[in-house]
């Protein structure tokens, strides 16, 4: 590496991917014949089949020769179907012209940082956060302001913490505030009250609001989800959603970037997204036709999501109970997405931190999960609750045994 | 826009897309009922069907449930098939581990600039160039050094011009030199001698070499193509290729980024690519399985490419002859890809420049093509030779009439 010093850009150095970082060790362990339990990747495509009508539409698109570049902004009918979805679910009105189809939500995260962040610019990201938020912010040379969510109140936004974080970065006006609802990694939704107050603060500080709502139909335990689009009327904002979670079509790589407001900022950002989309020519074409069917066929989707959300609910509640019974870990009750974010009671263990926890856990018990520090919250672990109850039971049994082995 | 001044990042401002810039006017003309001829977009997916075996493999992947995220670096078997392709075609040896599958070559262009370019860094890009090279360089805050290719010698690299360009930017050591072979927009290949000399200069100046060879099987008129991978042994370099052109599968969005050398720079760049690939999780999954079939089935591919290259050859030669007979335009004889890059003899016309040429041509004759200034070469136009001879004949007839109407 020394000979290459200065060769890789500042932005490109030290990209971390805590979710995948143990992939090499895990593959090595599997080669040695261990029975590995992976609860680190939130990919419903591994555990559930993509809905059959989406698969059918995918193949039909190929048969009909829809394999060329589409318009950079995305298939017009799909953009209109995204508009219909928001109107149908939330009564939020915007036109298909105000949607850009991206290669997964991750491409939208990349575009939004390249479009808003000059080196040194700041952005507000609540922690714990989805790891890639920080990756893309840093790739554009941005600096994160990271107010913690409030574990005691079910990981809701704490306005006091938000105020404090902004005050300690006074003089630096953040370009955007990024809200994730439902949250990955906590598996919880934000309260309407907290969202209202947070976006008022964004408005007062001239911050653009971004809301990643990619899990918005995966709700259970009576979770009350409110879209930022419903509350941010008149405030410049961008909504992010896509095919991967609600439609369990991760491998299709389709995201929706929605610019519902007509103010100059929102529309300038939309135009910049379209320019960036033009540079990569087109998102995957058969995938766009497939998602058109996925969104249009609301009856099939309702049936699908009801069934899957019930299954995830039952698995998550089961896993949360077992985690809280270990005596070494505690988790807030989840009510959305498919994650548990559990506090490690390090005072009871002879382990240094969450990093050591996940490294030794993989080596000793062959369970792969993600360290909380990877989400900006040291001292925690994230557990993916997509596997069956039997697998989750075995995983948490191993975690408990691991804790007992390392009891202080 | 004024209220949003300073909102969009410096990098995000002024993204140009000369190939698509007239899309709005063109759609408006079509609504008015005009019979528009579009020879601006190099998308073989519009004119040729994707090979049937690739379509079949695509559908099979969906049937078999390959719709989840794949490993960030890409499907292992596909990476090995890319290695087999280079060994089979050119005798170049590297392993599947040295390949990263990207969402089209454009994603590789994005990764490579983010990975190598800090704001203010320079890079050598020969002109005329594929427009997006400059877009991605600028998005990372980079500065282009643009030596012209030599029209008189069939658009080969001119070592004199390269030396001059480097001398006039002395003190600024460019991070990379980007070679395109076969070239878009010129439709010509570079000579082995020129490539050898250029990469020696890159080596002497400690520049990383990138070679975009995405049209390397679309050859005709006896074109002699030499891969940079064949000549750059021991020189840090990256080869770019993909599904879009040789396999005419544009809508699949699959690129190959190949890191054949084991030196520290090449390998550091590969690791950074994998990190960036991890941030966007996965390229399209069914597309990767489809391309695995495309690359493995070399018999079908040889048959396909022979037939398509012959058709493109005949169309391109025909169009070049008609262009040279207009009396207002001249083009170098093309021998690869599917473009003509024609000089406009502005001295014979009452038109200001290539921009006015393409704007008025669209309005008056309903022919949409791309201005040379969009490729860094004012005074030229690019014609896509994918349409049938009948369509190309009609397009060039209209162009000739347009020139006569604006004769000085």
Share of chain B above pLDDT 70, in %: 99
SS3 A367: strand
Query: How many Å apart are CA A67 and CA B120, to the nearest integer?
Result: 38
A41-55, A304-318, B21-35, range with greatest mean pLDDT: A304-318
Query: How many Å apart are CA B155 and CA B183, to the nearest integer?
Result: 9
Residue A116 and residue B12: Cβ atoms within 8 Å?
yes
Q: Quick check: do B2-49+301-405 and B68-296 share a fold?
A: no
Query: How many Å apart are CA B378 and CA B388, to the nearest integer?
Result: 27
| Optimal mutation site among A57, A60, A251, interface B, most CBs of chain B within 10 A | A251
Nearest chain A residue to B10 by CA distance is: A118
| Optimal mutation site among A281, A282, A283, A386, interface B, most CBs of chain B within 10 A | A281
Kind of pairing between the strands at A255-258 and A237-242: antiparallel
DSSP 8-state assignment for residue B150: B
User: For residue A23, what pLDDT band results from cuts at 50, 70 and 90?
Assistant: confident
Phi, psi of A297 (to 5 degrees): -85, 75
User: How many other C-beta atoms are found inside a 10 Å radius of the C-beta of residue A188?
Assistant: 25
Q: Which pLDDT score is estimated for A2?
A: 42
Residue A58 and residue B272: Cβ atoms within 8 Å?
no
Q: Which pLDDT score is estimated for B33?
A: 78
- Shortest CA gap B27–chain A (Å): 12
Contact indicator for A266, A273 with CB cutoff of 8 Å = no
**What does the domain layout of chain A look like in residue ranges?**
2-49+301-405, 68-296
| Fold of the domain built from segment(s) B2-49+301-405 | 3.90.1150
Contact indicator for A344, A354 with CB cutoff of 8 Å = yes
Least confident of A169-173, B90-94, B130-134: A169-173
pLDDT of residue A9 exceeding 70? yes
Residue A106 and residue B70: Cβ atoms within 8 Å?
no
Mean pLDDT to the nearest integer, A386-408: 97
- Of residues A55, A140, A279, nearest to B62 (C-beta): A55
| Fold of the domain built from segment(s) A68-296 | 3.40.640
Share of chain B above pLDDT 90, in %: 87
Residue A279 and residue B140: Cβ atoms within 8 Å?
no
Mean pLDDT to the nearest integer, A120-143: 95
User: For residue B30, what pLDDT band results from cuts at 50, 70 and 90?
Assistant: confident
In the numeric block, which tokens belong to residue B68?
């989840």
Query: How many Å apart are CA B161 and CA B201, to the nearest integer?
Result: 12
pLDDT of residue A137 exceeding 70? yes
Which of A301-309's residues contact partners 24+ apart within 8 Å by CB, and which partners? A301/A51, A301/A247, A304/A51, A305/A217, A305/A218, A305/A246, A308/A44, A308/A48, A308/A218, A308/A248, A309/A217, A309/A218, A309/A219, A309/A220
- Shortest CA gap A280–chain B (Å): 5
Is pTM beyond 0.80? Reply is yes
Residue B31: HSE in the Cβ half-sphere, 13 Å Cα cutoff: 6
Q: What is the mean pLDDT of chain B?
A: 94
- Shortest CA gap A162–chain B (Å): 22
Query: How many Å apart are CA A89 and CA A83, to the nearest integer?
Result: 10
Query: How many Å apart are CA B53 and CA B50, to the nearest integer?
Result: 9
Least confident of B216-220, B257-261, B278-282: B278-282
Query: How many Å apart are CA A95 and CA B131, to the nearest integer?
Result: 30
In the numeric block, which tokens belong to residue B243?
């599904």
Residue A250 and residue B67: Cβ atoms within 8 Å?
yes
User: For residue A339, what pLDDT band results from cuts at 50, 70 and 90?
Assistant: very high
Strand order in the sheet with A255-258: A99-102, A255-258, A237-242, A208-212, A176-180, A122-125, A143-145
- Shortest CA gap A348–chain B (Å): 34
Collect all residues of chain B within an 8 Å Cβ-Cβ radius of residue A114: 9, 11-12, 139
The dihedral region occupied by B6, where left means phi > 0, alpha psi between -120 and 50, and beta the remainder, is: left
Mean pLDDT to the nearest integer, B213-239: 97
Q: List Cα–Cα distances, A386 to A309, B95, B203, in angstroms.
A: 11, 34, 51
Q: Which pLDDT score is estimated for B1?
A: 41
SS3 A369: coil
- Model pLDDT for residues B304-357, shown as the tens digit of each residue: 999 999 999 999 999 999 999 999 999 999 999 999 999 999 999 999 999 999
Share of chain A above pLDDT 70, in %: 99
- Model pLDDT for residues A246-257, shown as the tens digit of each residue: 999 999 999 999
Contact indicator for A188, A218 with CB cutoff of 8 Å = no
Residue B251 and residue A68: Cβ atoms within 8 Å?
yes
Contact indicator for A84, A125 with CB cutoff of 8 Å = no
- Shortest CA gap B408–chain A (Å): 36
Contact indicator for B127, B375 with CB cutoff of 8 Å = yes
Collect all residues of chain A within an 8 Å Cβ-Cβ radius of residue B280: 103-104, 106-107, 110, 132
Query: How many Å apart are CA B103 and CA A280, to the nearest integer?
Result: 9
Q: What is the mean pLDDT of chain A?
A: 94
């Amino acid at each position: 590496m020394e000979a290459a010093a200065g060769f890789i850009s500042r932005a490109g150095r030290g990209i971390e991917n805590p979710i995948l970082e143990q992939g090499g060790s895990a593959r090595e362990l599997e080669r040695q014949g261990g029975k590995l339990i992976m609860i680190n990747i939130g990919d419903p495509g591994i555990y559930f089949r993509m809905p059959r009508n989406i698969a059918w539409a995918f193949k039909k698109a190929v048969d009909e020769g829809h394999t060329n570049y589409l318009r950079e902004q995305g298939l017009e009918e799909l953009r209109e179907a995204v508009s219909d979805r928001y109107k149908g679910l939330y009564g939020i009105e915007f036109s298909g012209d105000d949607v850009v189809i991206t290669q997964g939500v991750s491409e939208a995260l990349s575009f939004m940082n390249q479009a808003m962040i000059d080196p040194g610019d700041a952005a507000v990201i609540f922690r714990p956060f989805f790891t890639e938020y920080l990756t893309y912010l840093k790739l554009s040379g941005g600096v994160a302001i990271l107010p913690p969510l409030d574990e005691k109140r079910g990981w809701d936004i704490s306005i006091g913490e938000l105020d404090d974080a902004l005050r300690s970065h006074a003089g630096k006006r953040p370009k955007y505030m990024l809200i994730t609802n439902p949250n990955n990694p906590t598996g919880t939704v934000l309260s309407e009250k907290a969202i209202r107050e947070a976006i008022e603060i964004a408005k007062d500080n001239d911050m653009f609001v971004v809301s990643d709502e990619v899990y918005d139909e995966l709700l259970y335990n009576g979770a009350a989800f409110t879209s930022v689009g419903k509350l941010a009327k008149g405030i410049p904002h961008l909504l992010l959603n896509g095919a991967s979670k609600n439609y369990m079509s991760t491998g299709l790589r389709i995201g929706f970037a929605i610019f519902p407001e007509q103010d100059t900022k929102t529309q300038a950002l939309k135009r910049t997204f379209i320019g960036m989309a033009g540079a990569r020519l087109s998102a995957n074409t058969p995938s766009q036709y497939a998602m058109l069917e996925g969104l249009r066929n609301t009856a099939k989707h309702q049936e699908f999501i009801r069934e899957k959300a019930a299954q995830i609910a039952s698995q998550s509640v089961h896993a949360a109970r077992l985690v809280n019974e270990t005596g070494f870990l505690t988790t807030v009750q989840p009510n959305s997405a498919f994650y548990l974010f559990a506090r490690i009671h390090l005072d009871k263990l002879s382990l240094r931190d969450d990093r050591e926890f996940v490294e030794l856990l993989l080596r000793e018990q062959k369970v792969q999960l993600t360290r909380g520090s990877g989400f900006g919250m040291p001292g925690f672990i994230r557990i993916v609750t997509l596997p069956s109850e039997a697998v989750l039971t075995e995983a948490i049994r191993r975690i408990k045994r691991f804790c007992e082995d390392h009891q202080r």
